[in-house]
């Protein structure tokens, strides 16, 4: 039994630091690296790639909308063609910077509003899948289980990875409970570990109404931008390993 642990990293920009990349990389196996449109700059990207290589973490591109001030979290009504171009641009930029350090990308995970929109809008999902497939057919595309984004990836002939959130509540239909609702985020590390184990072992999660729902779990997202994120990640990893689950990126045998 294997699981990948991923986190969004390289989100500093110019003079502004963000996150605890170094500490987080001790626990995760896949890093989603910002590509300069919603966060990250060429210097930050170079340093994040170097850190991932040093820590043995697989590198993925984390392309987002061109919206620094909104951190790529605001939906922008971009056309599929615009989305295809901006994903291809950002994936290319990161891949080239990684290649210059002797590293190849493992995966692509869209960021923030772009990810959410593409999970439910097939035209945008297809645009992302087209960009990734045109650049490198061996890249793994991340998306929510059952989402349009995963379907588009498969239709484009890409390997896909279903991403789950052990610290987020799920509605009975398998979608994430809106952050605005009470209890939508689970802060108790022990509870998060238990949910993570169930997700990996049973490919199931208990929804907010107590019902059990099936969901494919290839990779668990660990948030890196909260206080205590590194400690939390370490505990989740230790809990999974203690339960006999192997933590490995998606390319490891």
3-state secondary structure of 143: strand
Of the residues 1, 56, 99, 212, which one makes contact with its own copies according to CB under 8 A: 99
Q: Is 138 in the site for its own copies (CB under 8 A)?
A: no
Q: 122-135 and 148-155 helices cross at what angle (nearest 10)?
A: 40
Of the residues 53, 70, 204, 226, which one makes contact with its own copies according to CB under 8 A: 70
List, in order, residues 6 or more apart from 128 with CB less than 8 Å away: 83, 84, 87, 108, 110, 114, 118, 141, 149, 152
Site for its own copies in 17-36 (CB under 8 A): 17-18, 36
Identity of the residue, 41 or 194, whose beta carbon is nearer to its own copies in the bound complex: 41
Hey, how many other C-beta atoms are within 10 angstroms of the C-beta on 35? 28
Question: Per the structure block, which two tokens stand in for 140?
Answer: 């793994």
Q: Is 250 in the site for its own copies (CB under 8 A)?
A: no
Is residue 150 within 8 Å of 141, Cβ to Cβ?
yes
Identity of the residue, 66 or 203, whose beta carbon is nearer to its own copies in the bound complex: 66
Residue 60 C-beta: closest distance to its own copies, Å? 15
Identity of the residue, 94 or 149, whose beta carbon is nearer to its own copies in the bound complex: 94
**Residue 225 to residue 237: CA distance in whole angstroms:** 17
Site for its own copies in 40-69 (CB under 8 A): 41-43, 45-46, 66-69
Of the residues 8, 32, 33, 71, which one makes contact with its own copies according to CB under 8 A: 71
**Residue 178 to residue 171: CA distance in whole angstroms:** 9
Classify the phi-psi angles of 147: left when phi > 0, otherwise alpha if psi is within -120 to 50, otherwise beta. Answer: beta
Residue 242 C-beta: closest distance to its own copies, Å? 34
Q: Is 39 in the site for its own copies (CB under 8 A)?
A: yes
Q: Is 88 in the site for its own copies (CB under 8 A)?
A: yes
Q: 122-135 and 80-99 helices cross at what angle (nearest 10)?
A: 30
Q: Is 113 in the site for its own copies (CB under 8 A)?
A: yes
Q: Which residues bind its own copies (CB under 8 A)?
A: 12-18, 36, 39, 41-43, 45-46, 66-71, 74-78, 81-82, 85-86, 88-97, 99-101, 113, 131, 134-135
């Amino acid at each position: 039994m294997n699981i990948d642990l991923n986190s969004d990293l390289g989100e500093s920009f110019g003079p502004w630091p963000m996150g605890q990349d170094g500490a987080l990389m001790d626990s995760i196996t896949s890093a989603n690296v910002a590509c300069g449109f919603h966060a990250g700059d060429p210097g930050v990207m170079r340093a994040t790639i170097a850190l991932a290589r040093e820590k043995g973490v697989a590198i993925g591109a984390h392309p987002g909308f061109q919206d620094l001030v909104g951190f790529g979290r605001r939906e922008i009504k971009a056309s599929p063609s615009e989305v295809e171009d901006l994903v291809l641009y950002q994936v290319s930029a990161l891949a080239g910077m990684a290649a210059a350090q002797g590293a190849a990308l493992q995966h692509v995970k869209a960021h923030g509003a772009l990810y959410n929109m593409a999970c439910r809008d097939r035209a945008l999902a297809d645009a992302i899948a087209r960009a990734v497939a045109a650049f490198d057919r061996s890249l793994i595309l991340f998306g929510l289980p059952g989402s349009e984004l995963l379907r588009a990836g498969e239709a484009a002939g890409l390997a896909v990875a279903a991403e789950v959130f052990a610290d987020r509540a799920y509605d009975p239909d398998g979608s994430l409970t809106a952050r605005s609702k009470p209890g939508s985020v689970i802060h108790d590390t022990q509870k998060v570990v238990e949910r993570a184990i169930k997700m990996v072992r049973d490919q199931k999660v208990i929804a907010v109404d107590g019902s059990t729902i099936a969901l494919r779990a290839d990779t668990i997202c660990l948030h890196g931008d909260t206080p205590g994120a590194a400690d939390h990640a370490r505990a989740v990893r230790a809990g999974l390993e203690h339960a006999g689950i192997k933590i490995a990126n998606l390319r490891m045998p």
